[in-house]
Amino acid sequence: MKALVLHLGLLAVLLALHFVLPAYHHGNLARIMVLASFAMGYNILFGYTGLLSLGHALFFAAGMYGMGLSVQHLGLSAGPALLLGVLSGAVVSGALALLALRTSGVAFMIVTLMFAQAGYLTILHFSEWTRGDEGFVLALAGRMAWGVDLSDPNARYIAALMLFGICLMLSLWLVRAPFGRVLVAIRENEERVRMLGYDTFAHKLAALTISGTMAAAAGAAYGILFGYVGASFAAVQYSILPLLYVLLGGAGTVLGPFIGTLFMFYLIDLSSGITTAYMLIAGIALVLLTLFAPQGIMGELRRRLWKGLP
Amino acid sequence: MTTPTKTATRRGALKTLAGGAAAATLPLWARYTHAQTAEPIRIGFQQHRTGIGAAYGRWYGRATEAAVGLINAGGGINGRPIEIVAEDDGTDPKRGAEVVEKFANQHGCHVGFGTLFSHVVIGSAPRAGELKLPYFVVSEGTHVSSGMLNRYTLQPGITDVRSQVIAMAPFITDTLGKKVTMIFPDYGFGYDHRDALAPAIEAQGGEVLAKIAIPPSETSFTKYFPKIPRDTEVLYHVMVGPAVLTFVKELGEFFGGQGPELFGFIDSLEAVAIDSPGLDFLEGSHFWEGMCRHQQPDESAHETFYREAVGVDARGASVNDPADVSTYGHMFGCWETLHVIKAGMEAAGYRGPQDRAALIEAVEAMTDMPHSREHPQGAKRFNGKTHQVFGHQYISQVQNGTLTRVHTTAIEDSAYPDMVDYTTQAF
């Protein structure tokens, strides 16, 4: 109950902030919520199942391009395009899971990285359709969902909050359900879980598909809400970013990805105003955090204050 | 049992938060209402300080600084000085869009300016349009005149790739050869070349034999060169990014001075000294230049003034460091754009953000821009409907290690039919 109150409380605070934040931070928070949804997807696989993927940019891009190409070339409106984006993410992550889960450990990391790179190059290769690295702008008509103009700052914030809310509550429910318990058990000792009679492959398959679909939902939403689709979102850095967000915030905590995204976003935003070497500042912050709070911000909180934090 | 308490607390928190924040923003409102008179005109400069555009960003910064110094020394805009607010976009479209938001919503900039790389422009322009922030890009991409962007995005200081290619195609086919193979970056800027060159060459009775696209992040190029057909008469090359020098060197190693005629865009060599070791094979080859890097004997007084103001020597390098070669073929766009912003604001009687639409209309109304100190690259003609400027193009040949201008195209040579009329779009 306490956990439910905490998570609903965060959503309430985010809703309240909608009315009070100045325009710049209001826009930033909308971005952060979408990126945090991406990180929450990543967390299901990495934080709870213990599978370190280096290819989540592929799923983010699958969602973004599934949505974007259907707006651009099929003339769909935002609603159906968004669903198509989520669907493409589910298909791509399901297919990748079938192949990549034949491996484990370092090999899994390499296979996911390679598939994501292949996805990136595919986008560049079909540049006649995708406009490659340059990308394309989504027409305003394609950003209308069920009569709501998602380019409007208020609608954008609420849409981002809805996506974030769904991902957050889904994550919370998932990790506390028997299915999520099995995922955690797989993370801790896969052999033992298998000996207990669980089909670990099926569980990992489901975890990767859910994780990829969530990432795709974030990708599709990002494209719709900010009006641009481009190959840079499929590049390797978008596989690394969710990992950083999750590590910073606390892997295996439901709120960790949000805290990590928030922290990282503002760290870069503020430090880039001071120096061009802002990634160095981000790097130092990461090193310090790894040294002094290796379980991330929320992980540390769980260790010190609240043992039962999901 | 806990639900009613929770609702009450949330409402209470909401009220407190709303009240507190409204009170906290009061001073901002006050500042905004009297920000009219002699306060500086804040121009957000979206600068590629890091990422693959960093060399351009550095020199775009210097050209901007010089132009602002000149404008401010002459009384600024309507008596108000310009204040540049520079933010690094990392040459990344996501960060670019965030920076535009920062200009509009946090720094209180009147306009945004200065972006070069196409993907950053295309990623940022939708946000500029939504935030109603006039966004003056210095990008060369045909994306502005293609109609892909919006009424708030303009390119009045530099010509676009399509017009450059159209203007130069007759020179390529008449002087160098009719069978052309092109190497271009697998990236939006390269697609503009890809899409514009073939029709332009064909219109002159020539033919494009092969189109070889190379990802801009590529670091080794030898695997691409065997794809060049053997009967190629002219190799048209354009490359961007940090590996341009490697590209040109490997090109030389591959042909060993025996290959087809070379026609390059100076982009392949921006910020790179033409007398760098291994580039001897470029002797005799031709380049498009947006503006002639090496001082020509007949250089205009306007250009000489500009060269000195930015701090560039006769070889196109920094006066303080001969090894620091400028992006001379592009950076004049910043200088000229800032002067267009000044002229537009003065014509519109610009006072503040409430006059942004009037500023855009004033720029849209511009046509001929004579060769002057404000436009040192040459005379230009602005098309208010497509938000794109047209101008002269220069073709230089490497003669004794110096880029020597051999041909200048007329403004009319670069014209193409309008693809959009932005003036019909509502503000």
Choosing among A29, A133, A222, which should be mutated to test the B contact, i.e. which has the most B CBs within 10 A? A133
B173 assigned to some structural domain: yes
Rounded to an integer, the average pLDDT of B164-173 is 94
Domain membership of residue B243 as a residue range = 161-299+316-323+395-408
- A273–B contact, CB cutoff 8 A: yes
Q: Do B45 and B68 have their domain in common?
A: yes
B414 assigned to some structural domain: no
B215 assigned to some structural domain: yes
Q: Does the distance separating the beta carbons of B189 and A232 come in below 8 Å?
A: no
At B216, list the tokens: 């801009």
For residue range A7-30, list pLDDT tens digits in order: 999 999 999 999 999 999 999 999
Q: Do B263 and B205 have their domain in common?
A: yes
Q: Do B404 and B338 have their domain in common?
A: no
Among the partner-chain residues B2, B105, B119, the one whose CB lies closest to the CB of A232 is B119
Distance of alpha carbon B13 from alpha carbon B174, whole angstroms? 75
- B195–A contact, CB cutoff 8 A: no
Indicate whether B35 pLDDT > 50: no
- B106–A contact, CB cutoff 8 A: yes
Query: What is the pLDDT at residue A281?
Result: 86
Q: Does the distance separating the beta carbons of A134 and B118 come in below 8 Å?
A: yes
Q: Do B148 and B205 have their domain in common?
A: no
Q: Does the distance separating the beta carbons of B93 and A16 come in below 8 Å?
A: no
Q: Do B177 and B147 have their domain in common?
A: no
User: How far does B197 lie from chain A, in Å, by closest CA?
Assistant: 16
Instruction: Tell me which residue has tokens 């540390």.
Output: A300
Q: What is the mean pLDDT of chain A?
A: 93
For residue range B269-326, list pLDDT tens digits in order: 888 888 888 788 888 899 999 999 999 999 999 999 999 999 999 999 999 999 999 9
For residue range B277-290, list pLDDT tens digits in order: 878 888 889 999 99
Confidence of residue B419 (pLDDT cuts 50, 70, 90): very high
List domains and CATH numbers for chain A: 2-304 (1.10.3470)
User: How far does B281 lie from chain A, in Å, by closest CA?
Assistant: 31
At A167, list the tokens: 């991902």
Query: Taking CB atoms and an 8 Å cutoff, what residues of chain B touch A19?
Result: 14, 17-18
Confidence of residue B255 (pLDDT cuts 50, 70, 90): confident
Q: Does the distance separating the beta carbons of B106 and A24 come in below 8 Å?
A: yes
Query: Taking CB atoms and an 8 Å cutoff, what residues of chain A touch B6?
Result: 5, 8
B15 assigned to some structural domain: no
User: How far does A8 lie from chain B, in Å, by closest CA?
Assistant: 10
B423 assigned to some structural domain: no
Query: Taking CB atoms and an 8 Å cutoff, what residues of chain A touch B20?
Result: 20
Choosing among B92, B107, B121, B122, which should be mutated to test the A contact, i.e. which has the most A CBs within 10 A? B122
Confidence of residue B15 (pLDDT cuts 50, 70, 90): low
- B25–A contact, CB cutoff 8 A: yes
Q: Do B194 and B280 have their domain in common?
A: yes
Query: What is the pLDDT at residue B31?
Result: 42
Q: Do B199 and B293 have their domain in common?
A: yes
The yes/no answer to whether this complex scores an ipTM above 0.90 is no
Q: Do B173 and B278 have their domain in common?
A: yes
- B96–A contact, CB cutoff 8 A: no
For residue range B156-166, list pLDDT tens digits in order: 999 999 999 99
Chain A: residue whose CA lies nearest to B92: A232
B85 assigned to some structural domain: yes
Looking at chain B from residue 2 to 21, which residues have their Cβ under 8 Å from any Cβ of chain A? 2, 6, 10, 13-14, 17-18, 20-21
B1 assigned to some structural domain: no
Query: What is the pLDDT at residue B16?
Result: 56
Rounded to an integer, the average pLDDT of A163-187 is 96
Q: What is the mean pLDDT of chain B?
A: 89
Q: Do B362 and B401 have their domain in common?
A: no
Query: Taking CB atoms and an 8 Å cutoff, what residues of chain B touch A124?
Result: 186, 215
Distance of alpha carbon A65 from alpha carbon A57, whole angstroms? 12
Rounded to an integer, the average pLDDT of B143-170 is 95
Q: Do B236 and B294 have their domain in common?
A: yes
CATH code of the domain containing B206:
3.40.50.2300
**How many separate domains does chain B show?**
2
CB atoms within 10 A of CB B104: 25
CB pairs under 8 A between A and B: 114
B92 assigned to some structural domain: yes
Q: Do B78 and B59 have their domain in common?
A: yes
pTM, full prediction: 0.87
Rounded to an integer, the average pLDDT of A158-168 is 97
Q: Do B114 and B200 have their domain in common?
A: no
Chain B: residue whose CA lies nearest to A233: B94
